[in-house]
């Protein structure tokens, strides 16, 4: 490996094949077409998933860039049916209050086409729940470690996570029960970690339907200068 000291810090030579223009077009088109098939799915088959698949998906998420490379994330991987049951009960308790009193009418109207409600059977049906925690600061031998751009870093990692789940052939729903501090106590997380996103993962249920919604056209999302 070619190495170089830059300002006293070891660097390694960056190697990556440089695709031709045709290859760039093909690669970008293929990945777009793959990702455009991703849908949020809320109905899961209970069929188990090999642990290695989940580990690879989480490793992929951990390749995300992060502020000062502090990697301010923890991925709790839950398959224990008793813990899933506890998480479902606590989430539904909050969601029941949210849907009945916390969420304004226009919010509920916006969700109507998606068919969501306070019931969350996917929290028990999905073989795995990935609960992503953001670390406001790090801890090493009792010392606090400064973290930077924590929400941005963990958000990017979650994007990678969702892409990896889809690429593997599985489905997920990005669930954000609110408030979700119950996840800290159920999963016994330390004070430097805050729940960020709850992602049930599994095979889609055999016959399931997703809302017939469309994505914004390129002209609506791009402004070229």
**Between residues 72 and 177, which has the closer beta carbon with respect to ligand IYR?**
177
Instruction: Point out the residue whose Cβ comes nearest to ligand IYR.
Output: 116
Smallest distance, ligand IYR to C-beta of residue 179, A? 10
| Beta strand pairing call for 171-172 and 128-135 | unpaired
Smallest distance, ligand IYR to C-beta of residue 15, A? 41
Query: What residues from 98 to 157 belong to the interface with ligand IYR (CB under 6 A)?
Result: 111, 116
**Between residues 46 and 178, which has the closer beta carbon with respect to ligand IYR?**
178
Smallest distance, ligand IYR to C-beta of residue 167, A? 23
- How many CB atoms within 10 Å of residue 103? 16
Given a contact cutoff of 8 angstroms between Cβ atoms, the answer to whether 88 and 96 are in contact is no
Nearest-angstrom CA–CA distance, 114 and 31: 26
Nearest-angstrom CA–CA distance, 114 and 213: 9
Smallest distance, ligand IYR to C-beta of residue 138, A? 29
Smallest distance, ligand IYR to C-beta of residue 100, A? 12
- For helices 51-61 and 150-168, angle between their N-to-C axes, nearest 10 degrees: 140
Query: What residues from 166 to 195 belong to the interface with ligand IYR (CB under 6 A)?
Result: 175-178
Query: What residues from 70 to 99 belong to the interface with ligand IYR (CB under 6 A)?
Result: 95
Q: Strands, E, within the chain: which ranges?
A: 3-6, 9-12, 73-78, 128-135, 137-140, 143-146, 171-172, 193-202
Smallest distance, ligand IYR to C-beta of residue 91, A? 8
**Between residues 56 and 178, which has the closer beta carbon with respect to ligand IYR?**
178
The edge-to-edge listing of strands for the beta sheet with 171-172 is: 73-78, 128-135, 193-202, 171-172
**Between residues 151 and 178, which has the closer beta carbon with respect to ligand IYR?**
178
**Between residues 66 and 186, which has the closer beta carbon with respect to ligand IYR?**
186
**Between residues 38 and 70, which has the closer beta carbon with respect to ligand IYR?**
38
Nearest-angstrom CA–CA distance, 58 and 39: 19
DSSP state of 151: H
Query: Which residues form the interface with ligand IYR (CB under 6 A)?
Result: 95, 111, 116, 175-178
């Amino acid at each position: 490996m070619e190495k170089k000291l830059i300002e006293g810090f070891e660097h390694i030579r960056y190697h990556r094949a440089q695709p031709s223009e045709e290859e760039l077009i093909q690669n970008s088109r293929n990945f777009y077409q793959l990702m455009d098939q991703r849908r949020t799915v809320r109905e899961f088959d209970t069929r188990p998933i090999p642990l290695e698949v989940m580990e690879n998906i989480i490793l992929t998420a951990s390749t995300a860039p992060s502020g000062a490379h502090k990697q301010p994330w923890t991925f709790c991987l839950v398959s224990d049916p008793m813990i899933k049951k506890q998480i479902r009960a606590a989430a539904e308790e909050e969601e029941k209050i949210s849907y009945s009193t916390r969420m304004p009418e226009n919010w509920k109207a916006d969700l109507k086409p998606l068919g969501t409600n306070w019931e969350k059977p996917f929290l028990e049906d999905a073989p795995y729940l990935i609960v992503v925690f953001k670390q406001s600061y790090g801890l090493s031998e009792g010392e606090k470690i400064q973290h930077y751009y924590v929400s941005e870093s963990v958000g990017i990692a979650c994007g990678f996570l969702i892409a990896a789940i889809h690429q593997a052939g599985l489905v997920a729903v990005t669930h954000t029960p609110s408030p979700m501090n119950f996840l800290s106590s159920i999963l016994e997380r330390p004070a430097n970690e805050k729940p960020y996103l709850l992602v049930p993962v599994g095979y889609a249920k055999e016959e399931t339907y997703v809302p017939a919604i469309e994505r914004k056209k390129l002209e609506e999302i791009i402004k070229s200068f």
